[in-house]
Structure 1
Amino acid sequence: MVHEDAGGGDRLALAVLAQWRMATTEQMHLLIASGVRIEQTRRRLAKLREEGLVDRVTLPQAGRTRCWFLTQYGTQIASEWPELRDWRPSRTVSDRTAARLRVGHALAVTQAGLAFVLDARQRGDVCQPLDWIPEVHHPLGGGEAVIPDALLYYRHNTDGGGGSMLRAFVEVDRATMGPERLAAKLGAYARLYGYVPAPPPGTRPHLAAQEESWRRRYPLFPRLLFILDGTGPVGADNRIDALHAATRQLPPALLHDVPILATTTTELLQHGPAAPVWQPVTRPGHRASWMQTQHP
């Protein structure tokens, strides 16, 4: 049973773990309760574990870091909540074996998302924990789909009281595949950009709305952000060069409308996502902010 405590802390903790897949104790603390002592977060997670809603694995590294995830029971409870409408329970880690096999990439994605959440707090922007949604399914027909590592919602506020809503598909690359395979992801996003679903059976083609499927979710196609991890500066440059080469095969409209940027985890964490640490893959070596509204 999830306790509806005064601050909704138990429910928020479960919702964050459901959506983010996996997180360490410190990451959970920063996401759900940074204003209190971390011991309170440890007690909350321990209580949820006693109730069978979450479990953990201990990472074999200095400090014996604990990494948390939902159990099948926790997944069943959270799947009924409206705030998790874009969450796919079928992709949730729910046992220790799966957790150990996925922990490296899962925590890299969590680390990236946490950087955006913390940066928004510091800047007075809006990016709540549930505005980072891993593995949102975007069908391409024929059983194929584009599934970014995360979909980011971010409201950038300006001094005059206005602001802009930004969205991004985020790919966190840990150098487990060659540069060409990484660059091939751009082709999948190009297909999504132009994909128009076939009209339902029995619909007259000329009466069916010929509209790209992504327009049903987003007013603008989300920008593409590549975060490169697991390699040094030379390796990162090679991967950005491969992304740059792949842009030659992309539709001009996509390149005109959608900023495609890359940075390294090191730069992201050292300077923050809002800093000009992003290289437009159409212009490697140049620097830009991922939040700028105009194409770099």
Structure 2
Amino acid sequence: MTDLDGGGGDRLALAVLVQYRMATTEQMHRVIAPEVRVEQTRRRMTKLRAEGLVDRITLPQAGRLRVWFPTSYGVQVACEWPELRGRRPPRMVADPTAARLRSGHTLTVTETALVFLEDARRRGDLCRPLDWIPEVHHPIGSGEAVIPDALLYYRQGREGRDGSMTRAFVEVDRATMGPERLAAKLTSYGRLHSYVPMPVGRRRRPSIGQQPVQEEWRRRYPLFPRLLFVLDGTGPAGVTTRIEALNAAARNTPTLIGFLREVPVLAAALTDLRSKGPTEPVWHPVQAPDRLVPWNVQRPG
């Protein structure tokens, strides 16, 4: 039995690690307790490890980088809390070898979360650690699904009270797939935008008295979340190549016309987000890649 019920910091640390899947000590510190010394976060993670809730691997990088991930027991404990209840259980890291093989992409996704969290803190906007939700499952029929790297909730305005909620699907690309495969993700999101599930035994065209069936995403969101591509793992030329591939897909795929008319789709280099912040005009709209806009640009029309 742990003392998590009485330790808010421990509880937040475990909830964040379960939700984010993986983080370095420095990343955990920046997410949960940037106002204290990093040694306190290190001691907290060591205590959680002693209680069997988290484990770690050490990557052979400068300084022997420690990477933390939740154990199956830690996931079981955290998923019973109201903050995480009802969400699909995360894909478990089976052992240190599996953690090492997944660490590159997962740590980059966590670093992307920090770009938004830290910018919100500076601006007085509302974006809490658990407002970044990785791998939310969205069915599109025939057993297929769209699973973004993360779903972001962000409320603008002083302490989040004055502004509107902005939601975004975030796809993090580390140049491990070709530009065409990255661009193909646009088609998947276009399918999600138009996907209407058919209840068993119901005709596709509703008969008199039947309510029309709506798109599946409307059950979760008042507006379809904007789509953000965060590009890393390559220099400026590689970023440009990927943005051009997204632009080509946007121009040459007729089925995307309605989707792109209603949903902002933007791409930016992670290096620019780190150095300038996501609310600065560092994002390229995929339909007009020569422009630069902030991520919370107004919707088309």
Structure-1-length-normalised TM-score: 0.95
The aligned residue for residue 145 of structure 2 is 145
Are 2:92 and 1:92 aligned?
A: yes
Sort the Cα spacing of 1:2 and 1:247 in 2 relative to 1 into closer, same or farther, 3 A: farther
CA contact (8 A) 1:53 1:73 kept: yes
The aligned residue for residue 129 of structure 2 is 129
- The CA distance in 1 between the partners of 2:83 and 2:13, in whole Å, is 13
Determine which of 260, 274, 277 is the counterpart of 2:279.
274
SS in 2 for 1:189: helix
- Please tell me the residue identity of whatever aligns with 1:212: E
Are 2:189 and 1:189 aligned?
A: yes
SS in 2 for 1:140: strand
The aligned residue for residue 173 of structure 1 is 173
Are 2:230 and 1:227 aligned?
A: yes
The aligned residue for residue 237 of structure 1 is 240
Shifted more, 46-55 versus 242-251: the winner is 242-251
- The CA distance in 2 between the partners of 1:158 and 1:294, in whole Å, is 22
Sort the Cα spacing of 1:221 and 1:4 in 2 relative to 1 into closer, same or farther, 3 A: same
- The CA distance in 2 between the partners of 1:127 and 1:52, in whole Å, is 29
- The CA distance in 2 between the partners of 1:196 and 1:90, in whole Å, is 26
Alpha-carbon offset, residue 84 of structure 1: 1.2
Where does the alignment leave 5 or more consecutive residues of structure 2 unmatched? none
- The CA distance in 1 between the partners of 2:93 and 2:38, in whole Å, is 24
1:197-240 deviations in Å (ceiling 9; x for gaps) = 01233689432541000001000000000001111111111110
**How many percent of aligned residue pairs carry the same amino acid?**
64
The number of residues matched between the two structures is 296
The aligned residue for residue 73 of structure 1 is 73
Shifted more, 56-65 versus 156-165: the winner is 156-165
- The CA distance in 1 between the partners of 2:134 and 2:225, in whole Å, is 14
Sort the Cα spacing of 1:94 and 1:209 in 2 relative to 1 into closer, same or farther, 3 A: farther
The aligned residue for residue 156 of structure 1 is 156
The aligned residue for residue 215 of structure 2 is 212
Sort the Cα spacing of 1:141 and 1:159 in 2 relative to 1 into closer, same or farther, 3 A: closer
CA contact (8 A) 2:125 2:159 kept: no
- The CA distance in 2 between the partners of 1:64 and 1:234, in whole Å, is 31
SS in 2 for 1:234: helix
Sort the Cα spacing of 1:127 and 1:94 in 2 relative to 1 into closer, same or farther, 3 A: farther
Structure-2-length-normalised TM-score: 0.93
The aligned residue for residue 267 of structure 2 is 262
Sort the Cα spacing of 1:94 and 1:19 in 2 relative to 1 into closer, same or farther, 3 A: farther
SS in 2 for 1:290: coil
| RMSD between superposed Cα atoms in Å | 1.9
